[in-house]
Amino acid sequence: MAEQEICPRCGLPKELCVCDILDKEGAKRIKVTTQKTKFNKVMTVVSGLVGDELEKTAKDLKRILSCGGTAKNGIIELQGDHKEAVKKALIQLGYPEDSIEIA
Ligand SMILES: [Zn+2]
């Protein structure tokens, strides 16, 4: 029988190891950027959320930041520059800090 490969991180055989999956889940997935609109105003764009999470988070962010915004095509657009505030709000909503990237 061939020797089993052991994961150096968790000590489990490679076939039982979930480190790669955990890495993926912990990887940055929410991106917060700002964009100029065609009316020369700034909006904050949050991408990386999908489905119900997108709609729900858009609603929560608008409430927390008291600003207007929309959720469409997989992104949340908020009126104004709220990059840092959005990050704080997302953490408040339960998203891990590590998963939020400010660009
Ligand atoms: Zn492992």
CA of 23 to the centre of ligand 1 (A): 10
Environment class of 90 (CB within 10 Å of its CB; exposed 0-12, middle 13-18, buried 19+): buried
List pLDDT tens digits, range 38-61: 889 999 999 999 888 899 999 999
Q: For the chain, how many structural domains are there in total?
A: 1
Q: Is residue 56 part of a domain?
A: yes
Q: Is residue 8 part of a domain?
A: no
CA of 47 to the centre of ligand 1 (A): 30
Q: Is residue 14 part of a domain?
A: no
CATH number of the domain within which 44 lies: 3.30.780.10
Identify which of 52, 30, 49 has the alpha carbon closest to the alpha carbon of residue 97.
30
**Which residues have a beta carbon within 5 Å of ligand 1, which is an ion?**
7, 9-10, 17, 19
Give the domain extent around 59.
Answer: 28-102
CA of 96 to the centre of ligand 1 (A): 21
CA of 5 to the centre of ligand 1 (A): 10
In this predicted structure, the answer to whether residue 2 has a pLDDT above a threshold of 70 is: no
Q: Name the band, by pLDDT with cuts 50, 70 and 90, for residue 17.
A: confident
Q: Is residue 52 part of a domain?
A: yes
Q: Is residue 33 part of a domain?
A: yes
Q: Is residue 44 part of a domain?
A: yes
Mean pLDDT, range 24-36, rounded to an integer: 80
φ, ψ of residue 20 in degrees (nearest 5): -60, -40
What pTM does this model have? 0.72
